[in-house]
Structure 1
Amino acid sequence: MNVLIVDDEISAIEAVQNGIQWDKLEIRNIYTATNVKDAIRRLGDYPIDILLSDIEMPMGSGLELLKWTNEHVPNVKCIFMTCHADFHFLQEAMRLGSLDYILKPLDYSKVEHVLSNTIEKIHTESILKENSNSWIQNKKTVVKQFWKDFFLGEISPNRDSLTNYFRQKRLDFDLEKGYLPILIVTKKWTEEFSKVDQKLLQYALRNIADELVVIHETEKDMISFSDTSVLVMLRMNPGLDVKHLYKRIEECCRLLIDAAEKYIKEIVCCYVGLKQTIYDMPAIIESLQEGDFNNVIYESNVFFLHQWTFHKAELDYSDNSTAKWREWLKQGRYDQVLIEISARLTTQEQKITINRDFLTKFSRDFYYLIFAFASDRHVFINELFGDERSFKLLERASESLDDLFVWVNHAMDLMRNFDKTNANRDNPVERTKTYIQLHLSEEVSMEQIANHVHLNADYLTRIFKKEVGVSISRYLINKKMEMSKDLLIHTDKSIGEVAMLVGYYNYSSFNRIFTKETGISPQEFKNNYKSNV
């Protein structure tokens, strides 16, 4: 019996080598590797029986190594080592398959116990292999590959193509049998997990599904369909009672849903297709995927394709809700807006019609409400929602009802805080006057002023002239001239210095504008004042 130990830390490998009584376990050879690449090389060079591997390594994870092993040397048994101390619930789920899971720091007596059980399992399978041929051992792999090729369109769904494929691969598929797919999808996790941990949980889900989805009088093929889904294909005789079949499937799926939530913290939905010929399977799978795509209510459930009713996403705004909510926001009634939105989207009748298209349309209309809020307060919308988190939440708002509510609550909090922070904020005209007064010594552009008060330049120009009676540019020149006169009269500064202090860095420009505005040059103005004193 040969063992391969894989860990990126050499000290950890040495600890395992020295801490376990290998002779007691009848382990003949112990090989080691410090990364996935080296491990794959060892698996190719030596007849490995047991793989004892760390999960997280810098040059490829243990999960990647397991995937390669399952594809190329499927008889090797894998045991994972990890520091995730909060994964006790996962151990029970893992025992449903051939994979076991040991926590670090290692308890060597427990490791020996797990290795002993694994060795016993290998001996048992070895006895079974002696009574069968290699084809039986590889059949599951060939069947899984067939379904993948079939659903990817590599094999045409007609009798000749399928017959030729089955003949070449030595598969005993009966084209006259009935087929029924069950798509099992993880909708969300009830706890926070890393990407690596999520892959591990999906592996556990497949094991649980294989253990619990047992339909008598059928043959079952289990396929990892995507990163978040498992596909179960049932094959059965044409005469099997469909009503009884659906009842048994629902019972199994309910057990699966409960186990997934309890052991691996996943919210799972099962989508059950129709019992049809093998030629109909690609279209039925596509319908199941469409149903899952439009299932934006992330609650565990079992859905049967023959019971589905598709609805168009129609928003009922007969009472002009958006306009009403806009008025409520003007009045500071944020909670009332949230309460009404929640009431509209969480009734059982409403949930039936909610799909991706519905969420997209609602998000669009709610964004109009935000735009109206910004317009009513004379600010740019980016001043409210220009941060990266707001952008990401808006992107996800059409993926699920939960995501939509997260976005709505986030937006309402930002609007509430804005109003609270700016409760005594001056109007934009007064802010424009203040900004000009503070920046008379600079060359101020219209764009700078508009950006400061967060308004469109044309709009600011219109409301300023309406309230003040002159344009912003005229008001700016008037203030500069007032300050120039005061400096010329009450200080001994030169005309060049005065020009600089009122934002004219070119003496000729200041002289020309002052002469035009007053009728005399700056020097004449200064001389006239002194002669009258």
Structure 2
Amino acid sequence: MNVLIVDDDRFVVKLLKEKVDWGNLGIEHVYTAHNIRQAKNVFIKQSIHLLISDIEMPYGSGLELLAWARQEGYTIQTIFLTNFADFHYAQKAIELQSFEYYLKPIEIDKLEFSILKAIKKVKITQQSEKAIQVGQYWQQNKQKLVDHFWSSYIRNQEWLKAELEEQLLKNHLNYSIDDSFLPILLNIFPYNISFKENSPAILEIDEKLVSKLIAHLNSTFKDTTFTLESVVGLDINKEKYVLLLRNNGVHLEYPPLVPLCENLIQTLKHDLLIDTQFSIGYSTTLVKIHTAVKQLQQKSEDTIDFRNTVHYFLSYEKKTYKYGEPNLAILEKYLQNGNKQSFLNKCRQYLVQLKEKNNLNLSVLCNFRLDITQLLFTYLKKKEVLAHKLFDGNTNNLLQTQSLRSIDDMMIYITYLIDVSLHYLDFIYSQKSVVNTICDYIDEHYQENITRDSIAKIVYLSPDYIARIFKKEKGLSLVNYIIKKRVDIAKDLLIQTTLPVHIISDKVGYGNYSYFTKLFKKETNYTPYEYRRKEKASTL
């Protein structure tokens, strides 16, 4: 805390600065000035809390200095010193909210008592200002504080009653632990899916989209009998949220919430191009809401349905479902005939029937996916296709992860599997296309260590199958084709360059110079040196 002493009498200034026990009073810095101009400069440069000033001074009075300080917005306590017991001065000092009107001569002990009272008032004022600032900050950042509270409460471990009350006080939240809240889960689904490996496979859910989503939610619940307190994200992919509704003393009924969410689904689909799914929980007290949300999440994840649907759960009960596999023989027959649409229709029909009989949950859907993928992988293996390589990519990984979220997403994944499988089978049925792909690969990578296994990874076929169709198409084995390709390139380098033979050996993929020489002679009846001399002699 700082004090400014202003008096044109230098003796008075020195007396006050040296005789008053400022340190004991809690004053850190004592500044001085001998006229209004100097005093104003001190105000501008330093933080002043207490002003002790003479009233009558040349070039302006202490009353004028205080009036200026009030006009500039400085919050200070003031003690006036004067030689005149003039009521006009006293009246003016009161109007300017000065703390004391003190008549000279100065008695230090009495002045110190006045200063101590002024300091106490400064502290009270500071506390009031701080409280106002805190209140203003809370009002400006109220939603952030509310969101932070709910995010911490829902996403972390459940707080005990005492911890919860402590957090409410800490965040200045007007909640009671017995207040009633209702959670609604919101799932966002990728709307546009591309099967191309190098293109975005999912509509990007960025902060801009999330902001628009929350704006729509706030607008929807604005005119209802309850308050949307917060929207809490539940995963890093920004696909799952929980909406916390406060009942405001009115019992939350489920029927009105269902059409509200149904209308919201259509709005979000139209305005934001996203599919959604809502799961309405049950109303419970604040102290129990953490458990209610966790149970709602479990129930929602275990309830498989189509996108753009609304569910409501009055309670959570774990149910065991018995899995009965689909007719795999018919599905395999559709595969053999290349009948994609019948395959997909049969899968969809199976899932819809399970849903209608209330026999579809996450575990059943997992088993179904496993059966379908095994059916496809087994069928492709019979065709000598390396299915685990064919479906090794970002698109497959993404769609496989999403497939357990809804019937729609499972059908998207199965459609992807069938499309890729049938397309690739068409490709390998044209053996010339496969062989041409292998030849193109050899032309580009002849200098590398090429094996049947490395080629198999390129065309997703078994090494034995590749060897058979290659020899059938080209009339020579794959190994011999690679040797011939390398020797032909070595011939050109021997004739057209002056590179040493061991360098040429490296360039065509043979690190072992002796082995290269042996293969070269077997193909041409000449060593590399002999071939170079012969070809150069023939050009003379």
The structure with the larger Rg is 2
* TM-score of the two chains, using structure 2 as the length reference: 0.49
